[in-house]
Structure 1
Amino acid sequence: MCGRYYVDDETAREIEKLVNEISSTLHQKGSKRDIHPSEPSTVLTAFKGSLHMEEKLWGFPGYHGKELIINARSETALTKSTFRDSVLNRRCVIPVAGFYEWNSSKEKAAFYREDSSLLFLAGFYKQFPDSDHFVILTSPANESMIEVHDRMPLILEREEVFPWITDSRKTEELLLKKPCSLKKDMAYEQLCLHDFTGDLT
């Protein structure tokens, strides 16, 4: 699953190079800003044939309005009526510096790429009465993640960002890809996982 991620100033600079514009939500002072479910975040979509940056809320309103759906399994997203149309027609990418996961002892670990300051998480979005909302896709954990959790975000390579967003012929292939290896850091302050229910991981 993915229940919280973070962005930093270097992330903002990387995205600025990628799309030649930057959202003020990422251009904040300080070394790190955590993004929690239900909060607005910058995502990449396509606009007139090029990548476009806009702000959307993290999490689909849940069933009966009681829960947020923040994640969806990449292997089954196309078979779920809640997700299928969005995956086919409204794909997006969430650029982050890294993300957090908690193990069975509720110890928090941070995951990030050693070879890049940026991770590109595959997602999709849908319009609701209040705003557009997005969901992050997850895949089975690889060897760098499995000791902490059995799921992880579906991570795209830089060259896969544009095809994921714009090329429907690549959708099924990318949904089943194996994410890259990540570095793990357990040195952060240990916190209990917030009581977020409703994620489909």
Structure 2
Amino acid sequence: MCGRYTLFDNTNSEEIRQILNILQKKQGGLIRTGEIFPTNKAPALVLENNKVQPELITWGFPSFQGKGVIINARGETLQEKKMFRTPFISGRCVIPSTGFYEWSHDSQKQKYLFNVPATSALYMAGLYARFDSEYRFVIVTVAANADMQPIHNRMPLVLTHDGVSRWIRNQEQAVRLLTGALPALVRAAAE
């Protein structure tokens, strides 16, 4: 679930363009945009010096089985699973995007792009932590809303603009967001 997402730099979203511009200045170069895959470095919004700031972070916690990465964390078990308990307390982040992909589970395996109507910015709740010398993030998933259910039973925890700060700054609010109503999504067939 949620194994790829998009971050287009030609978006209509001033917020996304601003995040990319800040990171380009920090990094001294271009930031990967387009389709984002696990293990790519991608923008994440984190709390730094009591201010929400974009940082480049690698997608995927290392797997304790030795190969591959863990890219998602189930919202229902964040406070129970050892791997996610501490990041949920002190490492909540938000992944800015322009949409996420999911594939149908029928014989055609159609790829769909999901995004939020009336805006080109889609924010996904995440967790981040330091592994060795590198920060890494996972995307938090929850039960699918009615727009997503025909394709998959899980989806990223999509946050409204107001929910971004609430998720990052306040653990009690984050717990509420895990079980709150999800924004409507629009679906389009993708190639």
Q: What is the TM-score when the length of structure 1 is the normalising length? A: 0.85
Listed as ranges, the gaps of 5+ residues in structure 2 are none
Distance in 1 separating the partners of 2:179 and 2:145: 13
Aligned to 2:37: 36
Between the two proteins, what is the percent identity of the paired residues?
37
C-alpha distance after superposition, 1:101-144 (max 9, x if no partner): 01113210000111111011000101011410000000111110
- Which SS does the other structure have where 1:72 is aligned? strand
1:5 aligns with 2:5: yes
1:98 aligns with 2:82: no
Relative to 1, partners in 2 of residues 1:47 and 1:11: Cα closer, same or farther, differing over 3 Å?
farther
Aligned to 1:197: none
Aligned to 1:72: 73
1:163 aligns with 2:166: yes
Q: Which residue, out of 142, 158, 170, partners 2:145?
A: 142
Whether the 8 Å CA contact 2:62–2:70 is kept in 1: the answer is: yes
C-alpha distance after superposition, 1:73-123 (max 9, x if no partner): 111111111101101111000000001001113210000111111011000
- Which SS does the other structure have where 2:172 is aligned? helix
Distance in 1 separating the partners of 2:115 and 2:122: 7
Q: How many residues align?
A: 185
Whether the 8 Å CA contact 1:60–1:135 is kept in 2: the answer is: yes
Relative to 1, partners in 2 of residues 1:93 and 1:141: Cα closer, same or farther, differing over 3 Å?
same
Whether the 8 Å CA contact 2:13–2:120 is kept in 1: the answer is: no
Distance in 2 separating the partners of 1:176 and 1:11: 30
Distance in 2 separating the partners of 1:176 and 1:57: 27
Listed as ranges, the gaps of 5+ residues in structure 1 are 190-201
Deviation at residue 13 of structure 1 after TM alignment? 3.2
Cα root mean square deviation, aligned: 2.2
- Which SS does the other structure have where 1:145 is aligned? coil
Aligned to 1:128: 131
Distance in 1 separating the partners of 2:124 and 2:74: 13
Distance in 1 separating the partners of 2:129 and 2:31: 27
Distance in 2 separating the partners of 1:161 and 1:34: 22
Deviation at residue 171 of structure 1 after TM alignment? 2.1
- Which SS does the other structure have where 1:125 is aligned? strand
Aligned to 1:22: 22
Deviation at residue 46 of structure 1 after TM alignment? 1.1
Whether the 8 Å CA contact 1:73–1:138 is kept in 2: the answer is: yes
- Which SS does the other structure have where 1:114 is aligned? coil
Deviation at residue 57 of structure 1 after TM alignment? 0.4
Whether the 8 Å CA contact 1:22–1:53 is kept in 2: the answer is: yes
1:114 aligns with 2:117: yes
Distance in 2 separating the partners of 1:28 and 1:40: 8
- Which SS does the other structure have where 1:22 is aligned? helix
Q: What is the TM-score when the length of structure 2 is the normalising length? A: 0.89
